[in-house]
């Protein structure tokens, strides 16, 4: 069923609308959806950490929105976020059960972001691998409340509708979630420009399999987490400590006959390196840099998580919460 067919059904009393009116309503509804699509994408991504699942949430949100009588909606932005949040909470409950049986460590799907996003430390942190992993320790409702309140500044009344709680209950949940996250939040990373020299040195050591070069840029208590999804080789649990991490990286590249290509990029607001082995994409390493040392390495090798260079995003918009967009045009894709 296409947009015009769905729009023709838009009547609050359930009776068929006239074709011309239905088509006009559908066009207006779709234009409103697209105007807030970046915001909806970012909300859903911060809740789920999976671009593929976010696509499903956006499609479902659009399909529900297109049947709503716009005349009874006072604030389309809040209404759309409420629809997307409810769908994301339901999806997150299902994902949490699946992630309990995930082979090895689970990492969020890498999201390609523009350099100016990385330059804004607060904005970059909201989609960082480090924070998304902390959010994984919250319940679905706690995560939704935290994201909507802390990252997007929604009011307690608006959030209450989205999570089907009273404003008083939402206030308590927000306080509990904020305290939980603050206790586990990693130290704030430096900006991309401040981290540039460290990333360049790490890349050079990676390309040359230089153990001492790696040790020079890794923090003493660095943590390396790799996600192969049970398909590609990865460590079953995080590797901790500069010496172990350096040997883990060099050991993984020990074959002298492989052709390794390392390309700088930016994922989830942080500096990263895309690795190609013998011309084939192998994975992406997102780096968390504190001061002049790398404090965390997130290596995503799971081939079911797309090559981040294929993830399209819009230029950094003026409104901070509306951060990224995977595609334009038909809102179902």
Rounded to an integer, the average pLDDT of 67-88 is: 94
Cβ(67)–Cβ(9) below 8 Å? yes
Which pLDDT value is given to residue 307? 59
Q: What is the pLDDT of residue 194?
A: 80
pLDDT band at residue 316, thresholds of 50, 70 and 90?
A: very low
Report the DSSP pairing between strands 280-290 and 239-240.
unpaired
Collect all residues with Cβ–Cβ distance below 8 Å to 254 and sequence separation of at least 6.
Answer: 209
How sure is the predictor about 66, in pLDDT bands with cuts at 50, 70 and 90? very high
Query: What's the half-sphere exposure (Cβ side, CA atoms, 13 Å) at 120?
Result: 17
pLDDT score for 310? 52
Fold classified for 192-302: Nuclear Transport Factor 2; Chain: A, (3.10.450)
Q: Which of 12-16, 91-95, 172-176 has the least mean pLDDT?
A: 12-16
Buried b (16+ CB within 10 A) or exposed e, 154-188: bebebbbbbbebeeeebbebbeebbebbeeeebee
What pLDDT score does 170 carry? Answer: 98
| CATH annotation of 1-101 | 1.10.1740
Lowest mean pLDDT among 4-18, 33-47, 195-209, 221-235: 4-18
Question: Which two three-digit tokens encode residue 48?
Answer: 């789920």
- Residue 15, pLDDT > 70, answer no
Of the candidates 329, 330, 327, the residue with the CA atom closest to the CA atom of residue 54:
327
Radius of gyration over every alpha carbon of the chain, rounded to an integer in angstroms = 22
Residues with Cβ within 8 Å of 233's Cβ and at least 6 positions away in sequence, in order, are 252, 301
What value does the mean pLDDT take over residues 185-196?
78
Angle between helices 19-35 and 51-65 (to 10 degrees): 140
Q: Is 192-302 the same fold as 1-101?
A: no
pLDDT at 5: 32
Q: Residue range 237-245: average pLDDT?
A: 97
Locate the domains of the chain by residue range.
1-101, 129-188, 192-302
Q: What mean pLDDT is reported for the chain? A: 83
* pLDDT tier for residue 256 given thresholds of 50, 70 and 90: low
Q: What is the pLDDT of residue 22?
A: 66
Range of lowest pLDDT (125-139, 166-180, 252-266): 252-266
100-120 pLDDT, tens digit each: 889 999 999 998 886 655 555
> 7-16, 217-226, 252-261, 300-309 — which is least confidently predicted?
7-16
The domain 129-188 having CATH identifier 1.10.10.10: the answer here is yes
pLDDT at 10: 41
How many angstroms from the chain centroid is the CA of residue 149? Answer: 17
Residues 263-288: what's their mean pLDDT?
91
From 7-11, 84-88, 179-183, 281-285, the region with the lowest mean pLDDT: 7-11
Q: Say what the pLDDT of residue 308 is.
A: 55
Distant-in-sequence, close-in-space partners of 156: CB < 8 Å, separation ≥ 6 = 149, 167, 170, 171, 174
More confident residue, 116 or 324: 116
Percent of the chain whose predicted confidence (pLDDT) is above 70: 80
Confidence of residue 181 (pLDDT cuts 50, 70, 90): very high
């Amino acid at each position: 069923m296409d947009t015009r067919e769905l729009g023709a059904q838009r009547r609050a009393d359930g009776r068929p609308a006239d074709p011309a009116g239905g088509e006009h309503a559908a066009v207006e509804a779709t234009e409103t959806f697209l105007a807030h699509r970046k915001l909806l994408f970012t909300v859903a991504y911060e809740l789920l950490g999976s671009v593929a699942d976010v696509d499903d949430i956006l499609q479902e949100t659009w399909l529900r929105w297109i049947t709503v009588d716009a005349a009874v909606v006072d604030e389309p932005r809040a209404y759309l976020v409420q629809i997307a949040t409810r769908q994301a909470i339901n999806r997150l409950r299902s994902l949490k059960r699946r992630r309990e049986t995930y082979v090895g460590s689970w990492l969020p799907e890498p999201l390609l972001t523009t350099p100016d996003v990385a330059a804004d430390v607060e904005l970059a942190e909201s989609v960082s691998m480090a924070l998304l992993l902390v959010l994984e320790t919250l319940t679905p409702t706690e995560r939704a409340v935290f994201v909507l309140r802390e990252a997007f500044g929604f009011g307690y009344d608006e959030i209450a509708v989205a999570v089907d709680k009273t404003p008083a209950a939402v206030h308590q949940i927000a306080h509990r979630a904020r305290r939980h996250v603050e206790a586990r939040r990693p130290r704030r990373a430096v900006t991309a420009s401040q981290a540039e020299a460290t990333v360049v040195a790490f890349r050079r050591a990676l390309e040359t399999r230089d153990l001492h070069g790696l040790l020079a840029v890794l923090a003493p208590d660095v943590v390396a987490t790799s996600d192969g999804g049970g398909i590609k080789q990865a460590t079953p649990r995080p590797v901790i400590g500069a010496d172990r991490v350096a040997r883990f990286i060099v050991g993984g590249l020990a074959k002298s006959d492989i052709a390794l290509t390392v390309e700088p990029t930016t994922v989830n607001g942080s500096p990263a390196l895309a690795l190609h082995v013998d011309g084939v994409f192998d994975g992406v390493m997102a780096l968390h840099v504190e001061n002049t040392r790398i404090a965390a390495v997130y290596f995503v090798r799971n081939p079911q998580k797309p090559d981040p260079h294929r993830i399209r995003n819009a230029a950094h918009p003026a409104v901070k919460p509306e951060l990224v967009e995977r595609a334009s045009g038909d809102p179902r894709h």
